[in-house]
Chain A
Amino acid sequence: MNATLFAASRVSALILAVAVAVHLVVIIHAVQQGLTIGAILSRTHGNWAFLVLYGCFVLAAAVHAPIGLRTVLAEWFSWSGPLADWLLLAFGVLLAVLGLRAALAVFLA
């Protein structure tokens, strides 16, 4: 792994640590308050803080997961090289598109 990928992996992990913590706290809070889907969506609709948080969450995951998978594929299956890198890049883009689409859908709902 080169130093740039390593830095990207560590910085994205840092963002994920914060985002996952906030995500879990909000879920627990919502469940304990007994909020309905409608009540939740009314809070997230047009909420820029929500969109920025989950946008960062999704992008960090889209960066972090392919880098980790790249190591797993290389170490466990001895598979590396340009084809693996391109497929992992595509996987990262897929994660980003699906995740941002979901976050945007909740933001606009």
Chain B
Amino acid sequence: MLELEIWRGGAIGRFQTYRIPTREAQTVLDAVSEVQRTEAPTLAYRFACRVGMCGSCAMMVNDRPRWTCRTRVAVAAPDGRLRLAPLRHFPVVKDLVVDMAPFFAKWQRAHGRFEPGPAPATEFATVPPSTPERRAADAGIECINCGVCYAACDVVGWNPDYLGPAALNRAWTLVNDVRDRARAAARLAAVTGPGGCQSCHTHMACTETCPKAIAPTYAIAGLKRQAMRAALAGTR
């Protein structure tokens, strides 16, 4: 049998224990779904694709943030005990569902959006894969916005103003996107200052836990370098 302690309630709540059969190749999301269907019909949790693309099923699994659709129970809970809680640093809506709005608001604060400029491009951009900018952008572009890195980051907990690894990683991909028409200085300004990239302590929890094997720490280091160069050059 698999024993699950699952958070029930909102910001204030408690863990409730459920028991379901252990199954072959069972994922944590499978287990949560089985609990909902057999034991707790009011259990709230979020998922969509079930194949590691949508980034909506992340939660704390035995105190570590994980995407649950691609996490096998056998790996996360070899002793047959799972403790599931909503993602750290997010407001809890209900049970395992969190409010992602503050997370995406920080993406906007970090200018984490492509800016095509005043006139749309008339030709397809040619971006050779071997250029350093393309390589740097490619390294972080597969982010699925799951929030695992944000939940893993201690600095987010200490400094609620901190933009967080995902937003900064997105900003870095755009700094390196040669098609982007945002002024580099404006984007660097958005990720500099209180809560900006310089707040990162390089703990690398984001890089350690990212399910897509992205390294936001290196993206943030890149932003720090560029922001420092800009500061020394007096451009901001």
Check if B232 sits within 8 Å of A75, measured CB to CB. Answer: no
B228 CB contact (under 8 Å) in A6, A74, A75, A76:
A6
**How far is the CB of B233 from the nearest CB of chain A, in Å?**
10
Collect the chain A residues with CB atoms within 8 Å of residue B158's CB. Answer: 75-76
| Number of interface residues, chain A, beta carbon within 8 A | 12
**How far is the CB of A72 from the nearest CB of chain B, in Å?**
10
Q: Which of B198-232 contact A (CB under 8 A)?
A: 198-199, 224, 227-228, 230-232
Which label, helix, strand, loop or mixed, suits the secondary structure of the B interface? helix
Is B147 an interface residue when CB atoms closer than 8 A count as contact? no
A6 CB contact (under 8 Å) in B159, B227, B236:
B227
Closest to A76 in B: B158
- A-B contacts counted at CB < 8 A amount to 34
B192 CB contact (under 8 Å) in A2, A74, A75:
A2
Q: CA A2 – CA B159 in complex, angstroms?
A: 15
With contacts A2-B193, A2-B198 taken as known, whether A7 is within 8 angstroms of B232 at the C-beta atoms is yes
Is B194 an interface residue when CB atoms closer than 8 A count as contact? yes
Q: Which of B7-43 contact A (CB under 8 A)?
A: none
Check if B236 sits within 8 Å of A75, measured CB to CB. Answer: no
Closest to B236 in A: A3
A3 CB contact (under 8 Å) in B155, B159, B230:
B230
Collect the chain B residues with CB atoms within 8 Å of residue A74's CB. Answer: 159
With contacts A74-B159, A75-B158, A75-B159 taken as known, whether A3 is within 8 angstroms of B227 at the C-beta atoms is yes
For B158, B192, B198, which residue has the most chain A Cβ atoms within 10 angstroms?
B198
Collect the chain A residues with CB atoms within 8 Å of residue B194's CB. Answer: 1
Interface string of A1-42 (1 = CB under 8 A from B): 111111100100000000000000000000000000000000
Is B196 an interface residue when CB atoms closer than 8 A count as contact? yes
What are 6 A-B pairs at a CB distance below 8 A?
A: A1-B199, A2-B193, A3-B198, A3-B236, A5-B198, A6-B228
User: Which A residues lie at the B interface, using CB under 8 A?
Assistant: 1-7, 10, 71, 74-76
User: Which B residues lie at the A interface, using CB under 8 A?
Assistant: 155, 158-159, 192-194, 196, 198-199, 224, 227-228, 230-232, 236
